[in-house]
Amino acid sequence: EAWARYSFVVEETPYTRLCGTKNILTVNGTFPGPTLYVRRGDTVVVDVYNKGTRNITIHWHGVKQSRNPWSDGPEYITQCPIQPGAKFSQNIIFSTEEGTLWWHAHSEWDRATVHGAIIIYPKNGTDHYPFPKPHAEFPIILGEWWKQDIDKVYNDAIQSGGDPVASDALTINGQPGDFYPCSSKSADTFKLKVDFGKTYLLRLVNNALQISLYFAIANHTLAVVGSDASYLKPFVTDYISISPGQTIDVLFTANQNPNHLYYMAAGVSSDATPLVVENNTTTTAIIHYNNQNHTSRSTTPLIPKLPSYDDTISSVNFTSRFRSLVDKNHPIDVPKHIRKRMFFTVSMNTLPCPNDTSCQGPNGSRLATSVNNISFVTPTPIDLLEAYYYQIKGAFGVKFPSFPPLKFNFTAEDQPSYLETPKRGIELKVLKYNASVQIVFQGTSIVDPSEHPMHLHGFSFYVVGIGSGNFDKHKDRLKFNLVDPPLQNTIAVPLNGWIAIRFKADNPGVWFMHCHFDRHMSWGMDMAFIVKNGKTPNTQMLPPPPDMPPC
């Protein structure tokens, strides 16, 4: 049942940040874009009008879209892009998601400015949170800002074959904050007003393109209550770590000296690539308490302490604390008898530069990435879902391997160079309807160790294990959490570590899976699943809508 219908007009709008004005792609002229408010189980229709000059698609990140991959959004995976002047009506089908998700462009790197929060209330309203009802709630979207146009950043990176240029600022709700040259305290800083003694719900989204982030509020502790639209057993922390794609819901109580101002701040987490080190900066927003006597108020906000950018331990430690809430209103259903066991290496790689030129990757190569040594190639000018549905031959293969082609010491420091070159291809993995699936993602140290926030479309999955070093299938699986593992749609494979996930393939369609660092996604750290139809009509894909965008 449709609870609401939204109009998304994608258009260029001038915005000024860091003393420079440029046209950015926006939805309805706003940056970040509009928040969708829904209730658990709703279906929402969004009419997307492309009034810009570029091809675009919109993805509803974390919405399972039961039986309806047609509205999922990734370009050339489930649809051809919406061309300038065209319109596409997308049906957003919510099922068991509850909490915070978000939507974003899924065409090139347009999500830098085309994104917004999705707030999913309990079916019976906000009195039915599994925690005391907050006084107020706010989406807090973390991101990155480039002075250059984002399509130039994208094109330069793809053409040079090297790392993309680092962003010029991190942002909170689109604003850099007080610590950047030329950011003016009034225009470039997000402000939050609170009442003393009240508790607030912050719905955090990480929309940064290339980096994971730490977040904290000066003098205030945070109670984590949910992530990726699923509730967690609450736990208290001084900082959170959040990967691109992830959402985290936190409560904080305004119980500190009301005459102070407090910064909330975000900075780079757990990576060591040159790109990130260059962007070792901090974005801030200001919290101030209402109705205070202005004469005694301090004007310099207190600054929270964030873990350092190269502190990978604090990041894994934080994520390891996630436990599903599990109560009678929020039961879980972890697959116990696994039918399909897979082991995916996620690696950095290099490929030769096209036409004998020299690229900016190591030794003149161009940077690439892979899953099980296959570097994904975008199947333009056709999309995989329509190729599958209409049985168009030659668009893709179905030979995605369940295990890496080679066994080696994944996390050893000096890897032999023959591991560097992956195979390029478009291989899908076919899953039977309702198969119980387990995937272990193993990070490798080929070329350059990195963490990888892996995101699966069409599903949430239980994260049953997380660890450092090489996954040991005898020892590590004995420690899997099958009691209260968190239910996520995005989870970071730690630098030189592994994660294990489980889900039931109960959603027929074609579903993309990729690293949510956009450079890794564009270099090939992607694959897709075909989940076959079941036998009964309500276990089968819905028919395509009449207005699928043509290629």
Q: Which of 457, 502, 504, 519 binds ligand C2O (CB under 6 A)?
A: 457
Pick between residue 59 and residue 502 the one whose CB is nearest to ligand C2O. Answer: 59
Please give the structure tokens belonging to residue 336: 């116990």
DSSP bridge partners of 440: 343, 500
Which range of residues in 151-159, 175-183, 246-254, 449-457 is near Cu ion by CB under 5 A?
A: 449-457
Residue whose C-alpha is closest to residue 103's, from 205, 4, 212, 230: 205
Q: Tell me the closest approach of the beta carbon of residue 241 to ligand C2O, in angstroms.
A: 18
Residue 502 interacting with ligand C2O (CB under 6 A): no
CB 534 within 8 A of CB 434: yes
Say how many residues touch ligand C2O, by CB under 6 A: 11
Q: Is 520 in the site for Cu ion (CB under 5 A)?
A: yes
76 binds ligand C2O (CB under 6 A): no
Q: What is the rounded distance in angstroms from the CA atom of residue 330 to the CA atom of residue 84?
A: 43
Residue 461 near ligand C2O by CB under 6 A: no
CA dist 490 and 441 (Å) reads 12
Instruction: Build a one-symbol-per-residue string for 515-534: x at contacts with ligand C2O by CB under 6 A, - elsewhere.
Output: -x------------------
Can you tell me the distance from the alpha carbon of 82 to that of 11, in angstroms, rounded to the nearest whole number?
Answer: 13
When CB distances are held under 5 to 8 angstroms depending on the partner's kind, the choice from ligand C2O, Cu ion, none that residue 220 binds is none
Amino acid at 486: P
Report 367-426 residues binding Cu ion (CB under 5 A): none
- Smallest Cα–Cα separation from 522: which of 370, 399, 354? 370
- Coil, helix or strand for 134? coil
Instruction: Please tell me whether residue 104 binds ligand C2O under the rule CB under 6 A.
Output: yes
Reported as type and span, the H/E element at residue 385 is helix 384-389
Q: Which long-range contacts (CB under 8 A, 24 or more apart) does 9-15 make?
A: 9/49, 9/51, 10/48, 10/49, 10/50, 10/51, 10/52, 10/56, 10/58, 10/82, 10/114, 11/51, 11/52, 12/52, 12/53, 15/113, 15/174
**Tokens at residue 17, please?**
């940040």
Distance in Å, CB of 344 to Cu ion, minimum: 12
Does 39 sit near ligand C2O (CB under 6 A)? no
Contact range with Cu ion by CB under 5 A, out of 107-115, 283-291, 511-519, 534-542: 511-519
Contacted entry of ligand C2O, Cu ion, none for residue 99, CB cut-off 5 to 8 Å set by kind: none
- With CB cut-offs between 5 and 8 Å by kind, which of Cu ion, ligand C2O, none does residue 61 bind? ligand C2O
The stretch near ligand C2O (CB under 6 A) out of 132-140, 163-171, 392-400, 510-518 is: 510-518
Residues 132-171 within binding reach of ligand C2O (CB under 6 A): none
| 67 contacts ligand C2O (rule: CB under 6 A) | no
The least CB distance from residue 463 to ligand C2O, in Å, is 17
Q: Of 106 and 429, which CB lies nearer to ligand C2O in the complex structure? A: 106
Q: How far apart are CA 287 and CA 292, in angstroms?
A: 13
Q: What is the SS3 assignment for 331?
A: coil
C-alpha closest to that of 542 among 78, 69, 1, 79: 69
Examine residue 366 and tell whether it contacts ligand C2O (CB under 6 A). no
In this chain, which of 39, 220, 429, 514 binds ligand C2O, going by CB under 6 A?
A: 514
Strands (E), 218-269: 222-227, 230-237, 240-242, 247-253, 262-269
User: Of 213, 515, 527, 530, which lies in the binding site for Cu ion, with binding defined by CB under 5 A?
Assistant: 515
Q: Is 32 in the site for ligand C2O (CB under 6 A)?
A: no
Minimum distance of Cu ion from residue 371's CB (angstroms): 10
Among 263, 503, 512, 517, binds ligand C2O (CB under 6 A): 512
Give the nearest residue (CB) to ligand C2O: 61
Cα–Cα distances in angstroms (integers) from residue 432 to residues 227, 288, 311, 334, 509, in the given order: 28, 54, 41, 18, 11
3-class SS string, 279-330 = CCCEEEEEEEECCCCHHHCCCCCECCCCCCCCCHHHHHHHHCCCCECCECCE
Work out whether 517 is an interface residue with Cu ion (CB under 5 A): yes
Taking the least distance from each CB to Cu ion, the nearer of 75 and 526 is 526
Q: Is 115 in the site for ligand C2O (CB under 6 A)?
A: no
Task: Report what 520 binds from Cu ion, ligand C2O, none; CB cut-off 5-8 Å by kind.
Answer: Cu ion
Nearest to 333 by CA among 465, 436, 440, 226: 436
**Residue 452's binding partner out of ligand C2O, Cu ion, none, with CB under 5 to 8 Å set by partner kind:** Cu ion
Question: What is the closest distance, in whole angstroms, from the C-beta atom of residue 303 to Cu ion in the complex?
Answer: 30
Pick from 529, 339, 509: nearest CA to 430: 529
Tell the smallest beta-carbon distance from residue 428 to Cu ion (Å): 20
452 binding ligand C2O? (CB under 6 A): no
282-289 and 99-105 beta bridge pairing: unpaired
Q: Return residues touching ligand C2O (CB under 6 A).
A: 59, 61, 74, 104, 106, 245, 455, 457, 512, 514, 516
